[in-house]
Amino acid sequence: AQKITQTQPGMFVQEKEAVTLDCTYDTSDQSYGLFWYKQPSSGEMIFLIYQGSYDEQNATEGRYSLNFQKARKSANLVISASQLGDSAMYFCAMRERDSNYQLIWGAGTKLIIKP
């Protein structure tokens, strides 16, 4: 079974609009962490945001926020006021304590911002 599911292979969004990238996860571990990374066309992996399973507040980092719904096992990334530079692949990943903290990745969502 997929541990991390990103159901949107690709998305087009108008510049300045907000965008939500979906991520659902599967775990029976009580202690885990969820990450979002951005990969521009240049290929590097850029850390965006982290949410711990015990964190009660949704994580925020500038224009990025993580909509964490623990009961639904979802960890959607919200980008407010999108910019042309946000065009990239976005990956959701999970790290579980019971798996020795190995980072498991989703297949990614390709986001294209239209001017």
Partner 1 sequence: NAGVTQTPKFQVLKTGQSMTLQCAQDMNHEYMSWYRQDPGMGLRLIHYSVGAGITDQGEVPNGYNVSRSTTEDFPLRLLSAAPSQTSVYFCASSLVAGGPGEQYFGPGTRLTVT
Q: Which residues of 42-71 are buried (b: 16+ CB within 10 A; e: fewer)?
A: eeeeeebbebebeeeeebeeeebbbbbeee
Please say whether the beta carbons of 45 and 39 come within 8 A: yes
Residue placing its CB nearer to partner 1 in the complex, 15 or 29:
29
Q: Is 78 in the site for partner 1 (CB under 8 A)?
A: no
- With H, G, I as helix, E, B as strand and everything else as coil, classify residue 98: helix
- With H, G, I as helix, E, B as strand and everything else as coil, classify residue 83: coil
Q: Is 41 in the site for partner 1 (CB under 8 A)?
A: no
Shortest spacing between CB 109 and partner 1, in angstroms: 10
Q: Is 100 in the site for partner 1 (CB under 8 A)?
A: yes
Give the one residue of 25, 106, 111, 113 binding partner 1; rule: CB under 8 A.
Answer: 106
Structure tokens given for 77: 């990334």
Residue placing its CB nearer to partner 1 in the complex, 12 or 47:
47
Give the one residue of 45, 81, 84, 112 binding partner 1; rule: CB under 8 A.
Answer: 45
Q: Is 88 in the site for partner 1 (CB under 8 A)?
A: no
User: What is the C-alpha to C-alpha distance for residues 51 and 46, in angstroms, rounded to an integer?
Assistant: 16
Residues lying near partner 1 in the complex (CB under 8 A): 4, 31, 33, 35, 43-45, 47, 50, 52, 91, 93, 95, 97, 100-108
